[in-house]
Chains A and B, each alone.
Chain A
Amino acid sequence: MDLENSIVELVSEETDKPALATSKFEDLTDSLEFLDLIEKVEDTFSVKIDDTEFEQLVTVADLVAMVKAKKN
């Protein structure tokens, strides 16, 4: 499974909602669930996402792009 599908699947599992790359986090999580999700992504993909970067994360696609950039 490629990185995008893995992240979309993880987001769906963690939020118990069917997520797409275009899904907005504000439609998927409250503030604390968002933190849980970011921490799960950090653990799963061995990346560190700084809180100063949270503003860039509007959609799941933004998260995919950020994780990809950090993995490269």
Chain B
Amino acid sequence: MSVTFQVERFDHCIEEIEVHFDAHWNELARDKDKIKPKMAKDRYREVDAANLLHIVTVRESESPFRVVGYFFTFLLPHWHYADAGQMAYVDMYYLSPEYRRGSTGVNFLRFVENSLRDRGIVKFYLSTKDHMNHGRLFERLGYKISDHVYTKYLGA
């Protein structure tokens, strides 16, 4: 089934997005035994109200237009480059496995990028999980690798 991409506000889509969180977390999270997911919805609402959150959804193109993917980015000026303009930082993204077919992944990311450009974003900081790496896809779309991110659980 084909899909559509669109920009949506948090409260318009969050209930439909939430149904994917278990699958998303199970597929991608590390330290699952120590850190459990719980979305801070009020914080997301605050940043969305301040126009600092950008959400792109992937919906089936036929009724009931079910959400099958999403891409969240935060929009912020960079603290080191205060005059450089607004930049986008990836928060999370997901596409249901059955829709990771053909050119859908490329078209999804291209839509996200174009919609950020339409909002005046000058630079997009995008990362991928080391254990589920989409780097080749990003590089095909012109992204250059700039950082390696390391994590370590410091809790008790």
Contacts and interface: CB of A to CB of B under 8 A. Distances in A.
B34 interface: no
Given A51-B110, A51-B141, A55-B107, A35 B102 contact: no
B104 A51 contact: no
B137 A54 contact: no
Contacts of B137: 31-32, 35
Interface in A15-64: 24-32, 34-35, 51-52, 54-55, 57-58
Interface residues of A, number: 17
B101 A51 contact: no
Given A51-B106, A52-B110, A54-B107, A31 B140 contact: no
Nearest to B114: A52
Contacts of A51: 106, 110, 140-141
A32 B105 CA distance: 8
Interface of B: 100-107, 110, 134, 136-137, 140-141
Interface of A: 24-32, 34-35, 51-52, 54-55, 57-58
24 contacts: A24-B102, A25-B102, A26-B101, A26-B104, A27-B101, A28-B102, A29-B102, A30-B105, A31-B101, A31-B105, A32-B105, A32-B136, A34-B101, A34-B102, A34-B103, A34-B106, A35-B136, A51-B106, A51-B110, A54-B103, A54-B106, A55-B103, A55-B107, A58-B102
